[in-house]
């Protein structure tokens, strides 16, 4: 089994969309039943990308608090991806869940193993932005961590903090590979283009060789609660995401 964590140092960078659309791309390449997407973000928005907005409110948070298997709250989507939502919970439940995660840094990895996924399964984990107990859980169980950036000044300014965090995580979890992913690239916009070039020069081989271009179809697909590869299979973002998924498969299998 391979686990890919998707993280960011700031919100609004398209992290959840990237997670969902990459999961759909993996399912297209590997076949239904092999890909799962776990939502560790209390916003519990990942399910909407798979048309599961009417799914029951139970999710990984409540199920963990009562000691149940995550398999019981898995929702199969129409796009070959099994989604495990965070779930609608109270503030007290969220705090209790985070306290549980704080006590056992390997909790998420253990629950993924208990879910009984096949050895050739791929699991993507969406986590809230910034350093948190969720981010530590992702590093504890992931094979690869994707760090989503925009080509803007705020993302550029967040890199030193992220690099400091990566150094700290490498001491505890040396097995994890991490790579930056440049999202919503618009080379027709001068500032965006210039910052993207600066990021490529600064990050070099720490940056994934395939970024995701800005494409209105990504937002439109979410409005229709579909992965963009289904909504607009021939669009630029769909093309980028499919290529990125293939690159990640090769990286996992090295």
What CATH number is attached to the domain comprising 87? 3.40.50.300
Q: Indicate the range of 48-62, 68-82, 117-131 predicted with least confidence.
A: 48-62
Residue 254 inside a domain? The answer is no
Q: Looking at the chain, list the stretches that DSSP marks H as alpha helix, in order from N- to C-terminal side.
A: 15-30, 60-65, 91-103, 107-114, 133-141, 153-172, 190-203, 216-223, 228-231, 236-253
Q: In the predicted model, what is the mean pLDDT of residues 152-174?
A: 87
Range of the domain at 189: 2-248
pLDDT the model gives residue 55: 54
pLDDT the model gives residue 114: 84
SS3 of residue 254 by DSSP: coil
Residue 103 inside a domain? The answer is yes
Query: Can you tell me the distance from the alpha carbon of 119 to that of 1, in angstroms, rounded to the nearest whole number?
Result: 5
| Stated pTM of the model | 0.94
Q: Which of 239, 181, 171, 167 is nearest to 209 (CA)?
A: 181
Residue 253 inside a domain? The answer is no
Residue 60 inside a domain? The answer is yes
pLDDT the model gives residue 175: 79
Rg (the chain; Cα; Å):
17
CB atoms within 10 A of CB 242: 20
Residue 100 inside a domain? The answer is yes
Residue 24 inside a domain? The answer is yes
Query: What is the DSSP secondary-structure string of 123-179?
Result: EEEE--SSSSHHHHHHHHH-SEEEEEEESSHHHHHHHHHHHHHHHHHHHH-TT-EEE
Residue 107 inside a domain? The answer is yes
Look at the chain and report how many structural domains it folds into.
1
The 8-class DSSP code of residue 207 comes to B
Residue 66 inside a domain? The answer is yes
């Amino acid at each position: 089994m391979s686990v890919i964590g998707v993280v960011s140092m700031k919100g609004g960078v398209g992290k959840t969309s990237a997670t969902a659309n990459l999961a759909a791309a993996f399912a297209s390449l590997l076949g239904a039943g092999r890909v799962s997407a776990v939502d560790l973000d209390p916003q519990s928005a990942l399910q909407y990308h798979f048309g599961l907005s009417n799914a029951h409110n139970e999710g990984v948070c409540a199920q963990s608090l009562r000691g149940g298997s995550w398999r019981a709250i898995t929702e199969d989507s129409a796009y070959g991806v099994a989604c495990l939502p965070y779930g609608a919970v109270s503030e007290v439940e969220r705090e209790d869940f985070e306290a549980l995660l704080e006590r056992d840094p390997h909790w998420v990895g253990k629950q993924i193993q208990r879910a009984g996924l096949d050895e050739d399964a791929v699991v993507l984990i969406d986590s809230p932005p910034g350093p948190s107990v969720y981010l530590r859980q992702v590093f504890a169980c992931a094979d690869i961590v994707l760090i989503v950036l925009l080509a803007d000044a705020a993302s550029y300014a967040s890199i030193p903090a992220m690099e400091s965090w990566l150094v700290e995580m490498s001491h505890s979890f040396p097995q994890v590979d991490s790579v930056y992913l440049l999202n919503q690239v618009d080379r027709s916009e001068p500032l965006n283009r210039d910052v993207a070039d600066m990021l490529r020069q600064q990050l070099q081989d720490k940056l994934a060789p395939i970024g995701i271009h800005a494409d209105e179809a990504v937002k439109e697909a979410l409005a229709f609660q579909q992965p963009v590869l289904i909504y607009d299979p021939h669009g630029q973002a769909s093309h980028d995401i499919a290529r990125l998924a293939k690159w990640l498969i090769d990286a996992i299998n090295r």
